[in-house]
Chains A and B, each alone.
Chain A
Amino acid sequence: MPILGTIASSRKSASAGAYESIATLTGNGSSAISFTSIPSTYEHLQVRIFFREVSGTTGQSEWYLKFNGNNTGANYWRMRWYSRGASFVGQGGSVSSEGIWGTPSVRNGATDRWGCAIIDIHDYAGSTYKSARIFGLGWNDATSPSLGNAGGPFTSTSAISSIQIEGNMGAFATGSTFALYGIKGSA
């Protein structure tokens, strides 16, 4: 069973404006991060992550995005491209229980390097299929950044009440942060 990330904080008071911080989780050697009990009062969600792994040398690795603890392969369609140096790879059109592809990750062997990513989920509480867009940076080694764009639909009509970010390489390092924001619709 994956170890949930440590909850660093949760929103204690409303901030002015349409863009609000909901919760922030931290990596602590956990292999999966899970935002739970997401309120349905926003229109869209954004997750901003800053991260690296605790294991592995260098080379390509990745993370995955899931919703509502749903491990049904047919619910996650995915596409991505990633690049490193002159190399460009495009993949897509597949379904997988792994979840939606994230962007390139950062193995422990990429000394002192940290990746980042932005995950946008529109109309997360609606009654139709949801879709995620992901854009981010990884590191193949300490001198070679990797860049990626990914995304795909989550073919469930249920509102998203939880988000899982799972690595396929081990665990997220201490210092990794995962920040969930809600974007309000019109009043």
Chain B
Amino acid sequence: MTATYDVISTQTTSGTPSTVVFNSIPSTFTDLVILGTARYSTTGDDVGIRFNSDTGNNYYWQQTVMNSSGSPVSNDGGGATSYVRVVNNMDTNYDTGFEINIFNYTSTLYMKSVVSRWSSRQGSAMYWGSFGGGWTPTQTVTSITLMKPNGGNFANDSIFTLIGIKAE
């Protein structure tokens, strides 16, 4: 019997990859969660997510970021884009902690809704943020790619844990 909350896979970066990919995701859960901590290697302070290797403009996102030096900043992806942004304001020296939730990932009737939250230190400033958006195709998610929309690489020893949640 599928456990209600179960680790599917954990990836720890060895070297400085530009992507982290989860393949062959089982279809036995209801929602997916990715928990992790990461830094960037030399550049690229944000993280995007793609599903089933889809690089088309089939994604939308909205963000709100709180920081230690000013008012909240909100913006969106400017309409359809090629990824959902899920993390921002990473640093090369300090780990960013994050949680990414993907709802109803096996549905072949509805889009996939995504929400994420994260906190970071970038230089001397602190950030806390949320993202929300989705992937519009009605396909079961079988793979997830975490990538760097503005270029750059993940640092060595960045950790990504994929978890499945099963509703009975």
Contacts and interface: CB of A to CB of B under 8 A. Distances in A.
Contacts of A24: 167-168
8 contacts: A9-B168, A16-B3, A20-B4, A81-B72, A114-B111, A145-B76, A146-B62, A147-B130
Interface in A73-127: 81, 83-88, 90, 112-118
Contacts, number: 128
Interface string B156-168: 0000000001111
Contact of A175 (B6, B64, B101, B110): B110
CB-CB nearest 4 A-B residue pairs: A137-B132, A19-B5, A83-B74, A179-B167
B24 interface: no
Contact of A118 (B61, B75, B115): B115
A85 B132 contact: no
A145 B131 CA distance: 10
Interface string A166-186: 000000000101010100000
A175 B109 contact: yes
Contact of B110 (A15, A83, A84, A114): A114
A13 interface: yes
A5 interface: no
B4 A181 contact: yes
Contact of A147 (B62, B165, B168): B62
A90 B133 CA distance: 20
B132 A145 contact: yes
Contact of B79 (A84, A87, A143, A149): A143
Nearest to A183: B5
B60 A21 contact: no
A116 B168 contact: no
Interface residues of A, number: 44
A147 B132 contact: yes
B30 interface: yes
Interface string B113-128: 1110100000000000
A118 B99 CA distance: 12
Contacts of B113: 50, 114-116, 137
B104 A50 contact: yes
B21 interface: no
Given A114-B134, A137-B134, A17 B62 contact: no
A141 B38 CA distance: 33
A177 B113 CA distance: 13
A179 to B, nearest CB: 4
Contacts of B6: 17
Nearest to A9: B168
A21 B62 contact: no
Nearest to B6: A17
Contact of B3 (A17, A50, A181): A17
B28 interface: no
A118 B101 contact: yes
A136 interface: yes
Contacts of A9: 167-168
Contacts of A87: 74
Given A17-B5, A137-B133, A177-B167, A85 B75 contact: yes
B80 interface: yes
B46 interface: no
A181 B134 CA distance: 24
